[in-house]
Amino acid sequence: MTAVLEASGLGKRYGHKWALSECTLVIPAGKVVGLVGPNGAGKTTLLELSVGLLRPDAGSIAVLGGQPGTSPSQLARVGFVAQETPTYAGMSTRDRLWLGARMNPSWDEALAEARIEQLGLDSRQKAGKLSGGQRAQLALTLAVAKRPELLLLDEPVARLDPLARREFLQGLMEVVAEHGASVILSSHLVADLERVCDYLVVLVDSRVRLAGDIDELLASHHLLTGPRHDRDALPHDQQVISESHTDKQSSLVVRADDPILDPSWSVEQLDLEDLVLAYMSHEVEADRRPKLEVRS
Amino acid sequence: MIRVALRQFRTEGVIGLGLLVVFAIVLAITGPHLAHVYDAFESSCRAARDCATAPNPVLNLDKPLQGALPFVVAIAPALVGLFFGASLIARELETGTFRLAWTQSVTRRRWLAVKLGLVGVASMAIGGLLTWMADWWASPLDAVNQNRFGVANFSFHGVAPIGYAAFAFALGAAAGVLLRRTVAAMAVTGAGFVAARLAVTYWVRPHLASPVHEFLPLATASGPGFVFGEAQGTMYLNAYTQNGFHTPAIGQVALTAPLVKVPNGWVYSTTALDKAGHAPTSHYLFQTCPVIKQLSNQLAASAPNTPGAKPDAINACITKLASTIHTIVSYQPASRFWPFQWAEMGIFLAAALALCGLTYWWLRRLYA
């Protein structure tokens, strides 16, 4: 399987501030990838670089083996649902479908019609009058009906209520199951991704902090609690991701491929949310970077 | 993509076309009557042999429309710039829909080229059609006024307004990309268009070709006259034009040239000069015609400051001056009307193309 996305030293700068830096990432095909990180971590930048809305200031990116956004055929292979799902407010659903059909040679009219019907959307209704959930569903329909090999969704559920969120993600899973596109989906909430994703990329402060298969990540990370330990006492193949200590007790999140053998620890599995939170904490930062660096 | 661009331009396009149709109807209703009155008068005055002196009644018809026409034709390109140009891309950037438009299977270059091409051509069509209609409607007036080259008339005749419309549109599009705000882009487009039109009209157009200079005898039917500098201001005697003169100082006098009309031409200046190209000095005038010194004093009391009956002494004086002084007219002849029109259209079209290039370059720079 080839990679759907291959980035090497990728960076994007706005003025003096790097929105994304030193991003090296290989995402295999056929995955539903969750791209998580706090607001402003660079998720949107990475997605817009992938679809060709932005051009890198450093490094390179290849999507489905091609340079993003450079040719009609490359554009046709990538579907994109932008943040806050912008719409032409004066256009009806039918007009929007017509627009999609005119602008995409690979347009699948039957798929679009079927989904509109399934969603119960009135095809004469203006986009400006749709609810948030309907707008998101329509945007997904338009992105899917061009039959992309890779579907990128930028915070598609961030503004939806829990029910609409659930329905949207369900819709997404149905489409993926039926038409088999790879998906990269960003969110600042892990809970959104947990149910649908099988691959995870964590972005913090414009850098990729973690990337991998969710099952493998969960298997190789452990929460250790026990009497107070010094982190240096751990074996070398156990990387401390985050730690917290009280006078008597230590609790560590460690990454280790081998089982934890020290009997003084009580070892627990992490759930995805705890895992992501551990990587978002500043401990890892301190671990990887020189102490002298001043952080804003 | 062309049909998509047409669809997205539908509202603006229909409104533009609607206004054009309303304008056409108004002109179509009033125009034939105007032409009829003109023809009727022409045949009657030809019979009476007084065409040169009798005022043509056509000038008094549809006065409000006569006044509004140049204004409408002048303002139309600005509106095109505001509503076709400034909102074209700015609105997409403002509402975020560019993320939608540029991620379909159409490259950004093609998207922009089709949009600029299509709406640009529509803008030019509006400018052209409007001018063509106004040109047709005003043709009896033009036949009477013989002033197509005049500053106000020039810009609502011929082909230059096509260039104005293209320029205003491209300026709007460029401002929209640069500012990314529709309203701000509209303001800049309006101001920029007016500034460009004024600059070209007053700074560029007069220099497109050097004017023709023609020597005429000093004494003609209308003028010349004298200007006297007085304590209370300036006194005129038979002065039709002050072109080329500074207001004389107190106790001084200047000779004004007669008013010269060039049918459908553009007169830059009319001056009274000697063979060496100098304006006659006060000293020379007083010396040649001692009578004007006396007149100067009389005038201060009676103040006949508009053209009127010329005292015989003045006529004799002018005849005397005519042996050394000539009237020199600088003007663009009527035959240059079309070269000037094409040149001005060319200037604005070139600027429009440059602005389209800037729009593309800036769009790539911003979002790439």
The A residues from 55 to 94 touching B (CB cutoff 8 Å) are 55, 69-73, 75-76, 78-80, 82-84, 86-90
Per-residue model confidence as pLDDT tens digits over B79-133: 999 999 999 999 999 999 999 999 999 999 999 999 999 999 999 999 999 999 9
Chain A contacts of B107, Cβ < 8 Å?
69-72, 75
Look at A75 and B103 and tell me if their CB atoms are within 8 Å: yes
Secondary structure string (H, E, C) spanning chain B: CHHHHHHHCHHHHHHHHHHHHHHHHHHHHHHHHHHHHHHHHHHHHHHHCCCCCCCCHHHHCCHHHHHHHHHHHHHHHHHHHHHHHHHHHHHHHHHCCHHHHCCCCCCHHHHHHHHHHHHHHHHHHHHHHHHHHHHHHCHHHHHHHCCCCCHHHHCCCCCHHHHHHHHHHHHHHHHHHHHCCHHHHHHHHHHHHHHHHHHHHHHHHHHCCCCEEEEEECCCCCCCEEEEEECCEEEEECCCCCCCCCCCCCCCEEEECCCCCCCCCEEEEEEEEECCCCCCCHHHHHHHCHHHHHHHHHHHHHCCCCCCCCCHHHHHHHHHHCCCEEEEEEEECHHHHHHHHHHHHHHHHHHHHHHHHHHHHHHHHHCC
What pLDDT is recorded for position B285?
81
pLDDT-derived band of residue B215, with 50, 70 and 90 as boundaries?
confident
Whether residue B303 is predicted with pLDDT greater than 60 in this model: the reply is no
Measured distance CA(B269)–CA(B145) in Å, rounded = 19
What pLDDT is recorded for position B230?
63
Token pair listed for B272: 């009274």
What is the value of pTM for the model shown? 0.87
Q: Using a CB–CB cutoff of 8 Å, tell me whether B319 touches chain A.
A: no
B351 vs B244, higher pLDDT: B351
Q: How confident is the model over B216-222, as a mean pLDDT? A: 67
B52 vs A215, higher pLDDT: A215
Per-residue model confidence as pLDDT tens digits over A168-211: 999 899 888 888 899 999 988 888 888 889 999 999 888 899 99
Q: Using a CB–CB cutoff of 8 Å, tell me whether A186 touches chain B.
A: no
Residue keyed to tokens 């001043």:
A294
- Rounded to two decimals, the ipTM of the complex is 0.85
Q: Using a CB–CB cutoff of 8 Å, tell me whether B87 touches chain A.
A: no
What pLDDT is recorded for position A291?
40
Per-residue model confidence as pLDDT tens digits over A12-48: 998 889 999 999 999 999 999 999 988 888 999 999 9
Whether residue B258 is predicted with pLDDT greater than 80 in this model: the reply is no
Q: Which residue in the set B102, B104, B107 is minimally distant from A71, CB to CB?
A: B107
B107 CA: distance to closest CA in chain A (Å): 6
Whether residue B364 is predicted with pLDDT greater than 50 in this model: the reply is yes
Nearest chain A residue to B91 by CA distance is: A88
What pLDDT is recorded for position B327?
83
Per-residue model confidence as pLDDT tens digits over A123-178: 888 888 888 888 999 999 999 999 999 999 999 988 888 898 988 999 899 888 88
Q: How confident is the model over A86-98, as a mean pLDDT? A: 89
Whether residue B242 is predicted with pLDDT greater than 70 in this model: the reply is no
Q: Using a CB–CB cutoff of 8 Å, tell me whether B109 touches chain A.
A: no
What pLDDT is recorded for position A24?
92
